[in-house]
Structure 1
Amino acid sequence: MDSRLSRHWVWAQETDGVVVLSHPIIAIEGVVDDLWWGDIDLWDEAMEAKLEKYRSALWTLLNEFGVLPSERAVLGCTEADEWLSRLRDCLALEDASQRRDCIRQWSLKVPLPDTYAFMEFSERLKWSLVEYALGLHAQGALEDEGARQQVLAWLEGVQPFLGETLRVPRLL
């Protein structure tokens, strides 16, 4: 195990003498203190922006090392996240025959939802990527390096999928 601290973490000295090791957004800007001690009656756009920074930083921290099963609820991981995370693990395999077998096993197990009618947009989008990847696999296109890299770019949030950047956690 690599015992080094993440290069994304910083030390911060709080006013009461407590030292915090955390993500810069959380430690330096005091987002947790503002959320904890803030007056929820005065909730405004600035507080909403801080909450979004906190969510983003938390997602980055958890995803950097991989999300444990006990942390999945914190990130709001869905079934689509689980299947897309498994797909990313398969696509990341170096050995082509192992990758092919992993994707084949994935495709045989993935349960598509009966309807998308009551899902949030982000969830529908993720299931759409699952279906698209299944179609690529059925055509044998996922064996093409360009298609594989494209799907990985969508899964890792490097490129938008259908105009939206996805956040697919790396699950352990």
Structure 2
Amino acid sequence: MDELKNIIRDIPDFPKKGIIFKDITTLLADAASYQRMVDLLSHRYIGKKIDKVVGVEARGFIIGAALAYKLGAGIVLVRKPGKLPSETFKKSYELEYGTDTLEIHTDAIEKGERVLIADDLLATGGTMAAVVDMVSSMGAELVECCFMAELEFLNGKNKLPADKVFSLLKF
């Protein structure tokens, strides 16, 4: 895993002073590394009968779509408000300073479907906790929340179901 971790670059003071941003675009741009990451993540879920992969805006789309393809599953998008054209289910959640809202099409997931939620990075866990609530309220069976990387020091995992979190890379 070190070869993948080492490709992700640190950007100091982005998006604000004191933050060290983990820039995954370097991994995504390297064909062999991107393929290896997708292969490693998808291997975990082969044979788990995943019906849908939920990709969280925006980088979760990149990982979610690749996983859905490899697993023979559908891809479902969770987006910011006003980006989906049909009827949506909305979920607002707390941020450090204020709130945010996510949406999913009301007909995107059927009751009982086995769902994998994918995103690029687990940080504080607030966004993913909101997505887990949305998917659960739609009657889906949550298989797992999977991440390309996790910032362990932020303890985002604590906001999610304990046995339903997998991160390929940990920082």
Give the structure with the larger helix fraction.
1
Give TM class, smaller chain. under 0.3
TM-score by length of 2: 0.28
Normalized per residue, the structure richer in strand is 2
Structure with the greater alpha carbon radius of gyration: 1
Higher relative contact order (CA 8 A, sep 6+): 1
